[in-house]
Amino acid sequence: MQKFTDLTLGEQLALMAEKYPDDNMINYTDRDYCRTWKEFNEECEVIARGFLALGLKKGDHISIWATNVPAWLLTFFGSAKMGGVLVTVNTSYKHFELEYQMRQSDTNAIVLIDGYKGTSYIDIINELCPELKDSEPGKLDCPAFPCLKAVIYAGDEECPAGMVKWDDLYTLAESFPVEDYIPIRDSCKKDEIVNIQYTSGTTGYPKGVMLTHYSILNNGVTIGDGMGFTHKDKLCITVPFFHCFGMVLALMSCITHGTAFVPIDMFKAQKVMDALVNEKCTAVHGVPTMFIAMLEHPDFDKYDFSNMRTGIMAGSPCPIKTMQDVVEKMHMTDIVIVFGQTEASPGCTMTTTEDSTEIRCTTVGKAFPGVECKIVDPQTGEDLPAGEIGEFCSRGYNTMKGYYKMPEATAQAIDEDGWLHFGDLAVCDENGYYKVTGRLKDMIIRGGENIYPKELEECLYRHPKVKDVQVIGVPSKKYGEEICACVIVREGETLTEEEVKEYYKHEVAFFKIPRFVWFMDEFPMTPSGKIQKVVLREMAVDKYELHAAKDIETA
């Protein structure tokens, strides 16, 4: 096990470059970008000087609005080396969301590509900043965003008017002397904010989670250790960099262990499987739906996954059956699970390669070194003993510095004793292993009975005709809530509502049998692969005409 590091991101990257200068660090399969550790470290130094030459200063906020392209990585580490704070932007954001985040985060510069899935980032930024097209690149004066001085274009087309061309950063860097840059780089400290990640904002507006060099790097140390990462491993990164899954569980675990990686710009099952085999990857991260997409791909059996060993399944509850299939069919005998949230940098608990397959399939592991975890009564806040379900809380080095410019929201999330309250329901066994049973807000209360969706999901996952399932609570005049099972059937199979209910009848108590069974082709998802249960509920209210029940006021 590694010791915790006191280095900054820039120092950690430089250390790996010194240790493995000529070894491969990054290799893209769909573009001409391959770098050794030394080459990438030196390129990040150039980008850092380019940012400074542009007029950006230590502590400035640099937003990145892009998929997993090389410019994302260079912006992140280049920003970290000159003391900037990277503000990650969700690739699916539209006009209103970007406007809010750029203003709330006090963004000083934004790096962007052309767009994503039909959304033009160029059109949106020009609508928000009509002054941009007539401004001198790097000298933007936009009343709507008084902090914003530069829009940096890292796309594939001709550089739009008013924007700084990405390639020009390399030229600009030459005008910023190395002797002036080094003191700035070396002044960066481990406890300084290096990243602001915006939460999805299930209630109210999204909140900017402030994370430090120390918190995310040492989260990476623990995560890499849990997977048994070494310099001999190679990780395929399929999850978005803008999310903690991609940024910490992937990038930080790699740069703390000298592990090479193969980034995937946007997830496509076949593209990922090609990369795993052709690049001889030993690890891959993904949310359950990504692994399901690969397992269900018609060409899955044509691939030889014998090089595979480990990886992480996280981001949403992991079906036991899917974990077992990944272990058996993808040779990922050392696959692990990490549990946490963005506010915790993000990992708090983890299974490791030393845990049995059963433990890795049925729990989210034990608390990280340096992190305290406990279960409390959601109503009273009192600590609960092993075996009792309550709210998961954590405390430690990994706790965020707070929400940017939101002290009230920070105080609601972190109590006076420093405990971060997750809003997740969990239980801890007598051996210290945690199991997540659902979200406080996801828990269904039907006629006074507490029902945990994850239990019913795991039950139906075992049905041979079921590919995926999500269980939600929907409004009911009589019971307060009823159960709705949203089911995706395996290709080529047929399944009826009666069959599902009959299956449940033999497996669970009568009050847990779904009132509604809704067969769907796909679930509404976030860009990071999380299933949006809030959206599912809204869709179900419309489908089953439950508006009257929804509008009933409760205490």
pLDDT tens figures, 422-434: 988 999 999 999 9
Instruction: Count how many domains the chain has.
Output: 2
- Residue at a domain's end among 165, 182, 198: 198
* Closest C-alpha to 434, from 312, 350, 358: 350
Residue 321 lies inside a defined structural domain of this protein: no
Residue 378, token pair as written in the block: 């959601």
C-alpha torsion 337→5→74→228, nearest 10: -30
Q: Calculate the alpha carbon distances from 190 to 7, 14, 184, 187, 215 in Å.
A: 6, 15, 14, 10, 9
* Closest C-alpha to 26, from 272, 332, 279: 279
170-208: per-residue pLDDT in tens? 999 999 999 999 999 999 999 999 999 998 644 457 899
Residue 480 lies inside a defined structural domain of this protein: yes
538 lies in which domain range? 451-550
What pLDDT sits at residue 131? 97
- Residue at a domain's end among 170, 198, 226: 198
Dist CA 499 CA 180 (whole Å): 71
What pLDDT sits at residue 10? 98
Residue 401 lies inside a defined structural domain of this protein: no
- Residue at a domain's end among 198, 221, 249: 198
Residue 191 lies inside a defined structural domain of this protein: yes
Residue 370 lies inside a defined structural domain of this protein: no
What pLDDT sits at residue 438? 74
- Please give the average per-residue pLDDT across 266-274, as a whole number: 95
Cβ within 8 Å of residue 281, ≥6 positions away? 234, 235, 236, 262, 275, 307, 308
- Please give the average per-residue pLDDT across 540-552, as a whole number: 83
- Please give the average per-residue pLDDT across 498-521, as a whole number: 91
Q: Calculate the alpha carbon distances from 31 to 25, 113, 265, 477 in Å.
A: 15, 15, 10, 56
Dist CA 260 CA 24 (whole Å): 6
| DSSP codes of every residue in 13-51 | HHHHHHHSTTSEEEE-SSSS-EEEHHHHHHHHHHHHHHH
How many CB atoms sit inside 10 A of residue 386's CB? Answer: 12
The Cβ-side half-sphere exposure at 473, using a 13 Å CA radius, reads 26
What φ, ψ does residue 472 adopt, rounded to 5°?
A: -130, 160
Dist CA 351 CA 356 (whole Å): 9
Residue 267 lies inside a defined structural domain of this protein: no
Residue 264, token pair as written in the block: 């995937």
Whether the predicted pLDDT of 46 surpasses 90: yes
* Closest C-alpha to 312, from 371, 227, 219: 227
Q: What angle do CA 388, 394, 395 make, to 5 degrees?
A: 140
Residue 340, token pair as written in the block: 């946490």
**Could you tell me the pTM of the whole model?**
0.84
Q: The tokens 């791909």 sit on which residue? A: 297
What pLDDT sits at residue 133? 97
Domain holding 498: CATH number? 3.30.300.30
| 140 close to 152: Cβ distance less than 8 angstroms | no
164 forms bridges with which residues in the sheet? 152
Residue type, 307: N
Q: What is the DSSP letter of 519?
A: E
Lowest mean pLDDT among 237-251, 282-296, 510-524, 528-542: 528-542
Whether the predicted pLDDT of 552 surpasses 80: no
Cβ within 8 Å of residue 1, ≥6 positions away? 225, 369
Of residues 190 and 356, the one with the higher pLDDT is 190
123-157: per-residue pLDDT in tens? 999 999 999 999 999 999 999 999 999 999 999 99
Residue 70, token pair as written in the block: 């090389």
Residue 508 lies inside a defined structural domain of this protein: yes
What pLDDT sits at residue 553? 36
Domain holding 123: CATH number? 3.40.50.980
> What DSSP element (H or E) covers 398?
none
| 276 close to 284: Cβ distance less than 8 angstroms | yes
What φ, ψ does residue 145 adopt, rounded to 5°?
A: -135, 80
Residue 232 lies inside a defined structural domain of this protein: no
